[in-house]
Amino acid sequence: MTTETDLYGVLGVARDASADDIKRAFRKLAMEFHPDRNKEPEAEGRFKQVNAAYEVLSDNDKRAKYDRFGMAGVNGGAQGFSGHEGFGGFGDIFDAFFRGTATRRAGPQPGSDLRATLELSLEEAVFGVEKEIVYQRTERCNDCKATGQKDGGARDTCPECNGQGELHRVQQSLFGQFVNVTACNRCRGEGQIVTNPCPACHGAGAKRARVKRSVRIPGGVDEGSQIRIAGEGDAGSHGGPSGNLYVELAVAEHEVFKRLDQDLVFDLPLNVAQAALGIDIDIPTLEGDTEELKLKGGVQPGEVHVIKGRGVPHLRGSGRGDLLVRTFVVVPDKLSQEQRELMHRLAESLGTPDVPDGEPSFFGRLRDAFS
């Protein structure tokens, strides 16, 4: 039968010990049994036990699970207590504490994401379009197969770090001797160097390129919308994936229509007679055809008349917005003698109008006009 090790006993603290007590006990024992300071045969094993115990008891969540379920509650009790593999990374913690900053050789790195702007007309934004975009990005060099070495040859082992990608320097500290680990400056942590640079990329393994891509724009997009094109950004390094391209859309102003979310707005000018008598009139649409609009007499400035389904398609879903026809009355600033006489007669006939109930005052309308 296997007896489970008591983590509190390993550190020599009570079960109700505070976090500071656990930390002090750990520091004391870790310094005592660290292999660089203690050459006794059993020191390394005790050091691993101290590490593993502190890894659990210094984490509030792991400590609570250990208090309740024992080692079975900590990472499923995997790998046993005698080793540190099941505790996920405490070896790195102690290497950094006693041996300096740990580094890793350069591995696959994803490429950078790129952004580009594509300008659309209102028609293109509403109905969709396929357009070409031109931008600059970093691409793998095909001449050297991204190795940087001429003709795609293998790189040489870095003589500075002997292919390790890192340099080890022994230093003394308050805790005794420790090893400071840094990335090799010559090979930048790769362990290999280019000795016969590729003339196409000058040994970089990648180069800038001007790229043309066709982008499909769905109908219904708006100013500021973004389209993500996976894998069309900068190339990754050391076999890493390419970044993405984000295309931001800019929609140019239209001479006739304005956009209001999923609706289009058309301003319809009327003269005084048309507004008073009413009119049947053809309203242009963004598609290029017309829709007949019947206006009854007495049209007021700022009225909105709706033509259903002639607006902007919904980007995610079915249906379309509406075409909103907003009326405004154009008062002439120049009249012929005949028109002036007719206006005088009309004014005398109509008299001075009353302000309709619920209408804002003059100052209220003035404020609303400039808000």
Contacts of 303 (CB under 8 A, 6+ apart): 326, 327
pLDDT band per the 50, 70, 90 thresholds, residue 343:
confident
Domain locations in the chain?
Answer: 7-99, 257-369
DSSP line for 180-219: EEEE-TTTTTSSEE-SSB-TTTTTSSEEEEEEEEEEEEPT
pTM of the full structure: 0.57
Residue type, 141: C
Residue 296 exposed, middle or buried by CB count within 10 Å (0-12, 13-18, 19+): exposed
Write down the residue that tokens 């028109």 correspond to: 339
* Pick from 149-153, 187-191, 358-362: least confident: 358-362
CA 195 to chain CA mean position, Å: 39
The mean pLDDT of 126-141, rounded to a whole number, is 93
CA distances from 296 to 41, 169, 259, 276, 305 (A): 103, 92, 26, 8, 11
Task: Determine the CATH number of domain 257-369.
Answer: 2.60.260.20
1, pLDDT greater than 60: no
Instruction: Please tell me whether residue 89 adopts helix, strand or coil conformation.
Output: coil
The C-alpha atoms of residue 310 and residue 74 are separated, in whole angstroms, by 63
Q: Give me 220's structure tokens.
A: 């219904």
Residue 217: per-residue pLDDT: 93
Read off the pLDDT of residues 231-274 as tens digits, 9 standing for 90 and up.
999 998 878 899 999 999 999 999 999 999 999 999 999 999 89
Domain boundaries 7-99, CATH class = mainly alpha
Read off the pLDDT of residues 75-87 as tens digits, 9 standing for 90 and up.
544 333 444 343 4
Read off the pLDDT of residues 140-185 as tens digits, 9 standing for 90 and up.
998 888 888 888 888 889 998 888 888 888 776 555 667 778 888 8
